[in-house]
Amino acid sequence: MVSGWTRREFFTAIAGCAALPAAASAEEKYLLLDTRILERARGARLTLGTVHKHPEPLFVEDKPWEPRFDNLYANVLYDEEEELYKCWYSPFIVDSVTSNTPREKRAEVKWHGGADLELGICYATSKDGIVWQKPELGLVKFQGSRRNNIVLRADPELGEVHGAGIAKDTRELDGSRRYKMLFNRFNRHLPRSDPRCR
């Protein structure tokens, strides 16, 4: 973290980063606050540092509707009005192969993707970006209960939901339309050419 910055200031600063340039290769190194990918930075000094993996994951599969995390496509934003980090993520919410395997044995089982797979979009919040809460939203039924943090799940007609990108539109006057979401919707039982998969 940049010396003298709070976590909130640091994460707010990096949240403004644009995507890496299209020509970037996996071998290229970028400074965290690189002027090629960051519009502006104040009170910061550009230096190379060493990345260290956190010893414990910040998100764990600890709910019945989270049997397996795989490419969560986590979308995190800092809500300045509520002073809260908000995360939308896309776990497999149904996967009998994983659910029927004890956690300590899962590393030994070759995952192949069963016919009953289902993806969903879930929501979590954090005051500091480190410790996360998964609030009971009451929006979507899972195994007969709405006591979960699921925002959206598959629809029999429209198919799966995955990889949500969410933004808060502070200019939107209608509070019920303030959050905007783009996501991938597909139906694994339909050919990709079917218009319902777009």
91-113 pLDDT, tens digit each = 888 887 777 777 777 777 776 66
122-145 pLDDT, tens digit each = 999 999 988 999 999 999 999 999
Is the separation of the CB atoms in 150 and 65 below 8 Å?
yes
- Break the chain into its structural domains and give their ranges: 1-52, 57-197
Side-chain-facing half-sphere of 6: CA atoms under 13 Å:
7
Per-residue model confidence as pLDDT tens for the chain (198 residues)? 344 555 555 555 555 443 434 444 455 555 555 666 667 777 877 677 777 777 888 888 889 898 877 778 888 999 998 999 999 998 888 887 777 777 777 777 776 666 677 888 999 999 998 899 999 999 999 999 999 999 998 877 767 787 788 889 888 899 889 888 887 776 666 666 666 555
- Using alpha carbons only, how large is the chain's radius of gyration in Å? 19
Distance from C-alpha of 71 to C-alpha of 167, rounded to nearest angstrom:
20
Question: Please, what sign has the CA dihedral across residues 67, 69, 74, 76?
Answer: positive
The residue among 114, 110, 74 whose CA lies nearest residue 94 is 114
Helix (H, G, I), strand (E, B) or coil at 76: strand
In the chain, % of residues over pLDDT 90 = 23
Distance from C-alpha of 159 to C-alpha of 141, rounded to nearest angstrom:
16
- Write the CA distances from 27 to 5, 24, 39, 90, integer angstroms: 29, 8, 23, 28
Question: Please, what sign has the CA dihedral across residues 66, 121, 118, 91?
Answer: negative
Q: What are phi and psi of 61, to 5 degrees?
A: -80, 90
